[in-house]
Amino acid sequence: MTKIGIIGGTGPEGLGLAMRFAKASDKVTIGSRSAERAEEAARKVSETVPDAKVRGLMNAEAVEDAEVVFLTVPWDAHQGTLENLAEAIGDKILVDVVVPMLFDRGQPKAILVDEGSAAQQARALVPNAKVVSAFHHLDGTELQNVERPMQGDVMVCGDHKGAKKTVMELVEHVEYVRALDAGSLTNSRYLEEWTVLLLHLNRIHKAHTGVRITGI
Amino acid sequence: MTKIGIIGGTGPEGLGLAMRFAKASDKVTIGSRSAERAEEAARKVSETVPDAKVRGLMNAEAVEDAEVVFLTVPWDAHQGTLENLAEAIGDKILVDVVVPMLFDRGQPKAILVDEGSAAQQARALVPNAKVVSAFHHLDGTELQNVERPMQGDVMVCGDHKGAKKTVMELVEHVEYVRALDAGSLTNSRYLEEWTVLLLHLNRIHKAHTGVRITGI
- How far apart are the CA of A122 and the nearest CA of chain B, in angstroms? 20
Whole-number Å distance between alpha carbons of A197 and A203: 10
Complex ipTM, two decimals? 0.96
pLDDT of A133 reads 98
Mean pLDDT in residue range B138-162: 97
Angle between helices B118-125 and B188-205 (to 10 degrees): 140
The pLDDT value given to residue A147: 95
pLDDT band for A3, please (50, 70, 90 cuts). very high
Q: Which of B201, B207, B213 is opposite residue A182, by nearest beta carbon?
A: B201
- Separation of alpha carbons A211 and A135, rounded Å: 11
Alpha carbon separation from B189 to A6, A75, A193, B110, B134 (Å, rounded) = 31, 20, 9, 10, 11
Q: Closest partner residue to A207 among B187, B194, B215, by Cβ?
A: B215
pLDDT for B91 equals: 98
Q: Is A196 on the interface with B (CB under 8 A)?
A: yes
The pLDDT value given to residue B26: 98
C-alpha closest to that of A95 among A56, A68, A123: A68
d(CA B138, CA B47): 21
- The whole-number pLDDT of residue B211 equals 98
pLDDT for A76 equals: 97
- Answer whether A151 touches B (CB < 8 Å): yes
pLDDT attached to residue B44: 98
Q: Which of residues 53-112 of A touch B (CB under 8 A)?
A: 109-110, 112
Q: Number of C-alpha atoms within 13 angstroms, CB side, residue B186?
A: 7
Neighbours of B58 (CB within 10 A): 14
* Band (B207; pLDDT cuts 50, 70, 90): very high
Average pLDDT over residues A163-179: 97
Residue-averaged pLDDT of chain B: 97
Running DSSP on this structure, what letter comes out for residue B150? P
pLDDT grade for A129, boundaries at 50, 70 and 90: very high
What pLDDT does B53 receive?
Answer: 98
User: Which segments of chain A does DSSP mark as H helices, in order?
Assistant: 12-23, 35-48, 59-64, 78-89, 118-125, 140-144, 161-171, 188-205
Q: CA separation (Å) from B37 to A154, B76, B143, B164?
A: 41, 19, 19, 30
pLDDT over 90, % of chain B: 99
Strand bridging mode A178-181 / A153-158 = parallel
Q: How far is CA A141 from the centre of its chain?
A: 14
To 10 degrees, what angle do helices A78-89 and A118-125 make?
40
pLDDT score, position B61: 97
Q: What is the mean pLDDT of residues A13-33?
A: 98
Q: Please give the average per-residue pLDDT across A160-168, as a whole number.
A: 98
Residue from A2, A11, A50, A51 nearest A30 by CA: A11
Nearest to A63 by CA among A8, A25, A10, A13: A8
Non-local (6+) Cβ contacts of B57 within 8 A are B29, B30, B31, B35, B38
Q: What integer pLDDT is reported at residue B103 of this predicted model? A: 95
Which residue of chain B is at minimal alpha-carbon distance from A153? Answer: B214
For the residues A3-27, what does the mean pLDDT come to?
A: 98
- Mean pLDDT (whole number) for B151-175: 97
What is the share, in percent, of chain A residues with pLDDT greater than 90? 99
* Tens digits of residue pLDDT in B22-57: 999 999 999 999 999 999 999 999 999 999 999 999
pLDDT tens column, A96-128: 999 999 999 999 999 999 999 999 999 999 999
Task: Grade residue A199 by pLDDT with cuts at 50, 70 and 90.
Answer: very high
pLDDT in tens, A133-163: 999 999 999 999 999 999 999 999 999 999 9
In total, the C-beta contacts within 8 angstroms joining chain A to chain B are 111
Cross-chain CB nearest to B201 (options A152, A180, A194): A180
Pairing of strands A153-158, A130-133: antiparallel
A25, A53 Cβ separation under 8 angstroms:
yes
